[in-house]
Amino acid sequence: MSLPTLPPDAPDVALIQAMADGQEDALRELHDRYARLLYALGHRMLHQTDDVESCVQDAFMNAWKHAGRFDASRASVKTWLVSIAHHRFLQELRDRPQTPLEIEDWDAPTAAADPTDRLLAEQAVQGLETDQRKLIELAYYRGYTHSELAVLLGLPVGTVKSRLRSALGRMKALLGPSGTL
């Protein structure tokens, strides 16, 4: 028995239903529609093409396996696929070995930077709690944007911003009014 052929303009929900019924063409069509979006999100989060490709493939395989669980009243197909991929990207980030950031890993100071200021800033960073220090290192030494940090840490952007402000305030307090420790 052959399965019916899906029209190329079939609604996303119909494609999910066809996937739940075992139609591989439906999976191919959804891949054609949304793979670029998922790859773009993956590159923003992971920065490594091989990891992104693997995670996007895993995301589509998870969508295939769980197509029967899709609930159109809770999310659009696009949102559902992005959510599956997002969770897979986060898992990939969590699975990566965490290497502590050493001072030598940081960018060298510019010629205009005062070595004393740099030393004071490094000491203030070391005086922060672990979570605050990690956030400062990711934002200011590794160059992650607020949005990237929000995705990486699974937090709202506003929370990332307020935690960064709090960490910077703590550093300022550690430095004192004279700007020294």
Please indicate, yes or no, whether residues 167 and 107 belong to a single structural domain of this protein.
Answer: yes
- Same structural domain, 16 and 91: yes
CA dist 164 and 181 (Å) reads 20
Q: What's the pLDDT score for residue 2? A: 47
The predicted pLDDT at position 21 comes to 96
- Boundary-marking domain end, from 64, 95, 126: 95
Q: Does 20 lie in the same domain as 91? A: yes
Supply 81's token pair: 């696929």
Q: Left (φ > 0), alpha (ψ -120 to 50) or beta: where does 113 sit?
A: beta
Element (H, E) at 50: helix 49-65
61, 77, 95 - which closes a domain: 95
Structure letter (DSSP) for residue 6: P
pLDDT value at position 111?
47
Domain boundary among 72, 95, 118: 95
Residues 86 and 122 in one domain: no
| Pair (117, 154) in one structural domain | yes
Q: pTM for the full model?
A: 0.55
Do the Cβ atoms of 30 and 19 come closer than 8 Å? Answer: yes
- 111 shares a domain with 89: no
| Rounded CA separation 169/23 (Å) | 56
- On whether residue 171 sits in a domain, the answer given is yes
Are residues 30 and 57 located together in one domain of the fold?
yes
Contacts (Cβ under 8 Å, ≥6 apart) of 52: 39, 42, 43, 46, 89
pLDDT average per 10 residues of sequence, the chain (181 residues): 63 95 95 95 88 96 96 93 93 78 51 67 86 87 82 86 92 78 57
Q: What pLDDT is attached to residue 113?
A: 57
Share above pLDDT 90 across residues of the chain, in percent, rounded to a whole number: 45
18/84 same-domain check: yes
Residues 108 and 89 in one domain: no
- Verify that 148 and 84 share a domain, yes or no: no
Structural domain of 52: 12-95
Which CATH number do you get for residue 20?
1.10.1740.10
* Tokens linked to 41: 């999100």
Q: CATH code at 155? A: 1.10.10.10
Q: How many CB atoms lie within 10 A of CB 89?
A: 25
pLDDT of residue 67: 97
| Count of structural domains within the chain | 2
